[in-house]
Amino acid sequence: MRLLHTSDWHLGRNFHRESLHEAQRAFLDHLVETVRSERVDAVLVAGDVYDRALPGLEAVALFDDVLVRLAGLGVPTVFISGNHDSARRLGVGSRLIDRAGIHLRTDPDGCADPVLLADEHGPVAVYGLPYLEPALVRERFGLDRGGHDRVLGAAMDAVRADLAGRPAGTRAVVLAHAFVTGGEASDSERDITVGGVASVPASVFDGVHYAALGHLHGCQTLAPHLRYSGSPLAYSFSEADHRKTMWMVDLAADGSVAAERVDCPVPRPLARLRGRLAELLEDPALARHEESWVQATLTDPVRPAGPMEELRRRFPHTLQLLFEPEGAPEEGGGSYAARVSGRTDLEIAEGFVRHVRPGRELDTVEHGWLAAGLEHVRQAGDREREAVR
C-alpha cells in the first residue's frame, strides 16, 4: 500500500507578515497532483491543519477545496487535529464526511477506532491519535496524573488492544502529533510542555508498522517505521536549511516500510546573513540571496542609520533585522531586579539607552535631558502626593 505522509500545513499562517496564502495553495495543488500521478492509496495528515483554533476564511476555503479534490480522486485521507487546531471545530461534520473517504480523527475517545483500508495483501488499520493535551484527556484514559508520555502511552495501549483482536496479518499505521524523544525542533513549533514533560519515548509506538508523526517542522527519521514529514513550508528562519518534503511510504505485505522524500514547492528561499552593514551591501558572494527572504544580523559596533532601508536596496525581501554589535559587553545573569539593585533612576535610564544604542555613550546634552526629565517626573509625583494629603 502506498501512503503519502504530510503534516503541519498551518493554513492561514504568515511569514514575518508576508502572506503565504498563494504558497500554501501551490503546495496543496502539488499534493493533489502527487496523489494522482504517483497512484497513492491513502493520504495521512498528522495534525496542525490550521495555524490557529479560529482560522480565517481564506484558510478554511483552502481546506475545503483540497477536501473536495481528494474526495474526487477517490483516495482515502486521514486527518488528525494538532495542538494548533481546534479539535472540536476541525471535527465538525466528520461522520458525514467519512462517507466521502475523508476521515477526520479529532476525538480522543476514537483513538482505538481505526480507518480500515485494504490492498491485495490484506487489511491495513489506520489509527488517528489527535493531539492529546494531558490536563484535558487524563480522565478519559483512566489516569489521575502524568504528562504527554502517559496519555499517549495509554492511547497506544488502546490501539494495541484493538489490533490484537484484528485478523492475523493486519498491518497497523498510526498518526500522532507529539514531540518524540530524539526529534529536532525549530523555532516555529508552539511549545507543548504545559501538562507535563513535552517529549515521549519512541518506544510508545512499539507494535505498529508505521507511525506518521506531526508537530516538528523538520523532515526526519527516528526509525524506519517512525518519521516526521515536517511542514511543507518554512515558518521561521530557523528552517533556512530545511529541505521541505513529504514522505512517500510503501507498506509491504509483511509490514516493512520503504520511504522516499517528495519535494514541496519553494515560494522563496531563506537566507540568514551576518556581518557589518557595509560588508553585506558589498560582498559579491551574497548576490545569490538578493531574491531570498532575508534575516540580517548586523555586527557593526555602532548601530548604522537607516539599516533596513539600506539592506532593502540590495535585498528587497529583507524581513528581519537583528543587532549583535562586535565587542558589546555581555549582560550579567540574574533577574532584572538584581541587575538594577542599588542603581539610581538616572543610572538605570542611562543603562537602557546604552542597551538599545550599543557602541555610543550619552553625550553631555543627552545626559542633561535625561536628568531633567527624571527630575520633572519626580517633582510632579511629589505634587500629586501632596495634593492627596
* Predicted pLDDT of residue 194: 41
CA-closest candidate to residue 108, choices 129, 139, 134, 138: 129
Beta strands per DSSP E along the chain: 2-6, 14-15, 18-19, 42-46, 77-80, 102-105, 115-119, 122-129, 171-177, 179-180, 199-200, 210-214, 220-223, 226-228, 245-251, 257-263, 270-275, 293-298, 318-323
With bands split at pLDDT 50, 70 and 90, how would you rate the model's confidence at 125? very high
Rounded average pLDDT over 229-237:
96
Report the SS3 class of residue 155. helix
* Cα torsion 314, 316, 318, 322: sign: positive
Q: Which residues, including other chains, have CB under 8 Å from residue 202's CB and lie 6 or more apart? A: 180, 181, 182, 222, 223, 226
Predicted local confidence at residue 193, as pLDDT = 54
Q: Is the pLDDT of residue 336 over 70?
A: no
pLDDT at 377: 82
Burial 347-383 (b: 16+ CB within 10 A, else e): eebbeeeeeeebeeeeeeeeeeebeeeeeeeeeeeee
| Residue 175 to residue 210: CA distance in whole angstroms | 9
Could you tell me the pLDDT band of residue 340, with boundaries at 50, 70 and 90?
low
Question: Which residues on neighbouring strands pair with residue 323, listed in sequence order?
Answer: 298
Span 254-303, pLDDT tens digits? 999 999 999 999 999 999 999 999 999 999 999 999 999 999 999 999 99
d(CA 31, CA 6): 9
Helix (H, G, I), strand (E, B) or coil at 48: coil
At residue 196, the pLDDT reads 44
Partners of 250 in beta bridges: 2, 258
Q: Where are the beta strands (DSSP E) in 130-228?
A: 171-177, 179-180, 199-200, 210-214, 220-223, 226-228
Residue 354: what pLDDT? 74
The yes-or-no verdict on residue 311 having pLDDT over 90 is: yes
Average pLDDT, the chain: 91
Q: Which domains does the chain have, with CATH numbers?
A: 2-263 (3.60.21.10), 270-385 (no CATH)
Least confident of 51-60, 92-101, 326-335, 364-373: 326-335
| Of 62-66, 166-170, 183-187, 272-276, the least confident | 183-187
Residue 89 cell numbers, joined: 471545530
